[in-house]
């Protein structure tokens, strides 16, 4: 405990799944956490887990992100978790689907990093953690635009890491395998009666990951223990890539 003591953190998409687990883990490690989401009732219950503050934040809205960052000021940790999994090949992906996925999965991170970076730099540095996916490294079937958008997240991460490497900023991504979260379970249900087994089969460990197992990596990257680590994809995948 106290691995993040004295640090101030903003987490996006903190109402559910990986973002929520990261907000809770950051708070447990002593950070002052501002947990955000568009699902206000979802974040409302985070107080009992030690999260200091919650706020409605739509990461697709540039004006909202900018005014939120202005109000919050200096932070030490920015964790970007918002993302959406589109199902299908290029033939099922309309222009609207493509734009939505890139807007929510990639441009959201462009918005939040751009908005928070100036105060982070003025304060002497910080750690940015972006939730990418194993799909960025090896596309699963029927994950055309998801894989392309997560590949962009991983390279956006490296570009930011390089450009600010001498100014105290670290920027890393986490590439989870299949993790049991509300949206993942919805995708399993949509895949039919044996949907869950199909998702488990992608994991060579023979089980789904937990959001807490991803949050453990996020705590490490956010903390000073990772001071020599920047611009990398940390794979936490139960053997998905093997």
221 binding ligand NAD? (CB under 6 A): no
Stretch that binds ligand NAD, among 69-77, 157-165, 174-182, 217-225 (CB under 6 A): 174-182
182 binding ligand NAD? (CB under 6 A): yes
* From 60, 87, 114, 158, residue interacting with ligand NAD (rule: CB under 6 A): 60
* CB nearer to ligand NAD: pick between 197 and 224: 197
**Out of 146, 164, 199, 240, which one is annotated catalytic?**
146
Active site residue 220: no
Which positions from 34 through 53 interact with ligand NAD, judged by CB under 6 A?
Answer: 37-39, 42
Which positions from 69 through 108 interact with ligand NAD, judged by CB under 6 A?
Answer: 81-83, 85, 104
Residues 6+ apart with CB under 8 A from 233: 132, 136, 137, 154, 157, 172, 173, 174, 175
Stretch that binds ligand NAD, among 8-16, 109-117, 119-127, 162-170 (CB under 6 A): 8-16
19 binding ligand NAD? (CB under 6 A): yes
176 binding ligand NAD? (CB under 6 A): yes
Stretch that binds ligand NAD, among 26-34, 54-62, 119-127, 190-198 (CB under 6 A): 54-62
The residues annotated with a catalytic role in the active site are 146
Residues found near ligand NAD in the complex (CB under 6 A): 12-13, 15-19, 37-39, 42, 57-60, 81-83, 85, 104, 131, 133, 176, 178-179, 181-184, 211
């Amino acid at each position: 405990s106290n691995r993040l003591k004295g640090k101030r953190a903003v987490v996006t998409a903190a109402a559910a799944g990986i973002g929520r687990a990261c907000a809770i883990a950051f708070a447990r490690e002593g950070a002052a956490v501002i947990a955000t989401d568009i699902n206000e009732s979802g974040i409302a219950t985070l107080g009992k887990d030690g999260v200091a503050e919650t706020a409605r934040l739509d990461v697709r809205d540039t004006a909202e992100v900018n005014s939120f960052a202005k109000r919050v000021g200096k932070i030490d940790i920015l964790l970007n978790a918002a993302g959406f999994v589109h199902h299908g090949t290029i033939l099922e992906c309309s222009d609207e689907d493509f734009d939505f996925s890139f807007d929510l999965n990639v441009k959201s991170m462009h918005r939040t990093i751009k908005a928070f970076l100036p105060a982070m730099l003025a304060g002497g540095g910080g750690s940015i953690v972006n939730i990418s996916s194993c799909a960025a490294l090896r596309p699963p079937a029927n994950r055309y635009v998801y894989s392309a958008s997560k590949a962009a997240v991983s390279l956006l991460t490296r570009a930011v890491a390089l450009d600010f490497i001498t100014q105290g900023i670290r920027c890393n991504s986490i590439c989870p395998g299949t993790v049991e979260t509300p949206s993942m379970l919805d995708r399993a249900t949509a895949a039919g009666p044996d949907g869950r087994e199909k998702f488990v089969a992608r994991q060579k460990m023979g089980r789904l990951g937990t959001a807490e197992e991803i949050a453990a990596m996020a705590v490490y990257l956010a903390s000073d223990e990772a001071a020599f680590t920047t611009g990398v994809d940390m794979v936490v995948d139960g053997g998905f890539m093997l």
